[in-house]
Amino acid sequence: MTENMIVENGIGPIDNINEIHSRMSALSAREFEVLRLVTTGMTNYNIGMKLGISARTAREHIARIMLKLRVGSRVEIAVIATKWDLFRLVRRSQSSDSDQPSHRGAGWQ
């Protein structure tokens, strides 16, 4: 059921999600911070200002993120991060749904 829900939500095949999980797990805490700021569209300069590092250091973090995620652009970083977030939301909703009674018979969709 988890696998079907993941594919139905447009996140991708389960093997792809496992690969994304593996790659995201390889990021350091600082790289994860930088990744989050990249996904908001921040420039290297703005990332540096936000984190108290130079734009060059931000650029180096982004280069390492690209290597670890095996992507070639900031846009691809954002796509991977979005898929990761969607996967986590689906998993979280499934685990909370299993803890609560089903509402399907009461008109819930």
Confirm whether 10 is domain-assigned: yes
Report whether 55 contacts 48 (CB < 8 A): yes
Please say if the pLDDT value at position 49 is more than 50: yes
Confirm whether 50 is domain-assigned: yes
Residues 82-99, mean pLDDT to the nearest whole number: 76
> Residue 97: what pLDDT?
58
Confirm whether 108 is domain-assigned: no
Judged by phi (left if over 0) then psi (alpha if -120 to 50, else beta), residue 70 lies in left
DSSP reduced 3-state for 10: coil
Average pLDDT for the chain? 79
Confirm whether 34 is domain-assigned: yes
Q: How confident is the model at residue 46 (pLDDT cuts 50, 70, 90)?
A: very high
Instruction: Give the domain range for residue 27.
Output: 2-91
The domain that contains 32 carries what CATH number? 3.40.50.2300
Report whether 6 contacts 90 (CB < 8 A): yes
Overall domain count for the chain: 1
pLDDT digits (tens, 9 = 90+) for 58-79: 999 999 999 999 999 999 999 9
Residues 35-47, mean pLDDT to the nearest whole number: 96
Confirm whether 12 is domain-assigned: yes
